[in-house]
Structure 1
Amino acid sequence: MQTIRDQRQLGSALVALRAGGKRVALVPTMGALHPGHLSLVAEAKRQADRVVATIFVNPMQFGEGEDLDRYPRQEKEDAKALEQAGCDLLWAPTPEQMYPAGFSTRVSVAGLTTRWEGEARPGHFDGVTTVVAKLLNAVRPEVALFGEKDFQQLAVIRRMVADLDMGAEIVAVPTMRDGDGLALSSRNAYLSPDERIRATTLSKALEQAADSIEQGQPVNGAIQDARRALNDAGFAPIDYVALVDEASLEPLHSPAGRMRLIAAATMGKTRLIDNVPVDSPQQG
């Protein structure tokens, strides 16, 4: 695996990767890789001939008081894992490479970023879309892979790519979970052993709520039960638990179309997000 740190060298490296008409996939990451990230690489290898991964802890998507400084950084271990997973090129730029002196452009997606994470973390999605736009423009992949765990992010990126005719196919990869159901996340490392056990309530509460809705129970009641379970487990604050339309992310008060239950809540000092799909209620 080749590692590139200087964007001026990236172009020639990509030309070599594409030799013979090879198809390129992009897997953007902020490092601190876990098996969920590596599942993106595995899917990328199925989608394309060559895989480019990025490691960049993007300062633009961290708000005041968030964990930019303590966000885990382990590039040596991450590079080894990527190479073993079959990645062909690692691009690991510095903040100065990505945001040189005088940088003054933001990419913003309206509508989809208003609620949920957008409300809880003002400015977060402008940071996400700006950096992803830069990554896509630099690599020009035929396909880019993103995990479903960050479901709102996935929807926002899809909207941006479609609106700006960026050309890359955006492929969603299902959330990978530990055996107890907790969604894999780099931030899980912040949880104490006791918090780690109690954090599993997040996925369990969402699965129970999804099951209730699919069985025909009122949406509001299912959501209130989920919030109660999170509160009892020690989550505080609970930023949101909502049933939303998968495309628009607008809240749904009764089942309709393609649906997703989304949630964000804090265990100790660690803010966790998760989501599960919801099928239409069973008839009968």
Structure 2
Amino acid sequence: MAHQLVDGPELDTARHPQDRPPAGDDDLEPCAYIQLTLVFDVDAENLTRMKLNIANPATGQQKTVNVEEERRYRIFFDKKISQEVEADPLGDEFKGYIVRVTGGNDKQGFPMKQGVLLPHRVRLLLSDGHSCYRTRRNGERKRKSVRGCIVGPDITVLSLVIVKQGEGEIPGLTDSVLPKRLGPKRATKIRRFFNLGKDDDVRKYVVRREVKSSKKENAKPSTKAPKIQRLVTPIRLQRRRHLRALNRRRFDRQKEQKAEYDALMQKRLAEKKAKVAAIKASHKAA
């Protein structure tokens, strides 16, 4: 935006109209004026462009595709999040591919929210656990602007996931497989990953990774392994038996205390009844 100032006649610096000298009808004072020239840098291509973030869970790759022609990405209009769309109109390389819409952003950057069945923005009161909002304090709620889950022409970024692979390979998306950096951590998932039985030792099959020291350049690389969760060991079984024994002892002690309390209450009720009967007998004798 550029501002252009055009100088006019000298401006009267009098602050109040009464301080100015009287002017006749013929000799009117010309006032100063400011001419503003607004220049907006508008990129016409970005107004009709949609960016597609395509992910392939089978290979672990992700790619961004810029689609400039509206007729190509019009197939996503009026589609909702989690709907599957045939990606043939995007180009010959996407022939036979089926993608699923997972989210997106509009031109102002507001995210699409699942469950809001509207093609425009709304302001919702969001709390902890909702998407499109991160709480800063416990129990905090805040009204935020979110975009509905129906795709429209105002969406500039759309997130897609490949559900079915087509005929050809797409460079950077299906041509190679990226290895996972971290392996499974839970014991049952490690057994499922390596097809192990119940008698096999899971600790031998943990995926380890090399870690290089950032402080020492010539240090030998060391390996690091995650702590296995839900691993059944003899110590864990012993702890469970101990906890069950504590619960059993606590139950027996409470049962004995209740029996003692009931016996004491019965004794006191009997004493109270005997006392009341003695008082009534003394009144009758009198």
TM interval, shorter chain, is: under 0.3
User: Max radius of gyration: which structure?
Assistant: 2
> With CA pairs under 8 Å and 6+ residues apart, which has the higher RCO, 1 or 2?
1
**TM norm structure 2:** 0.19
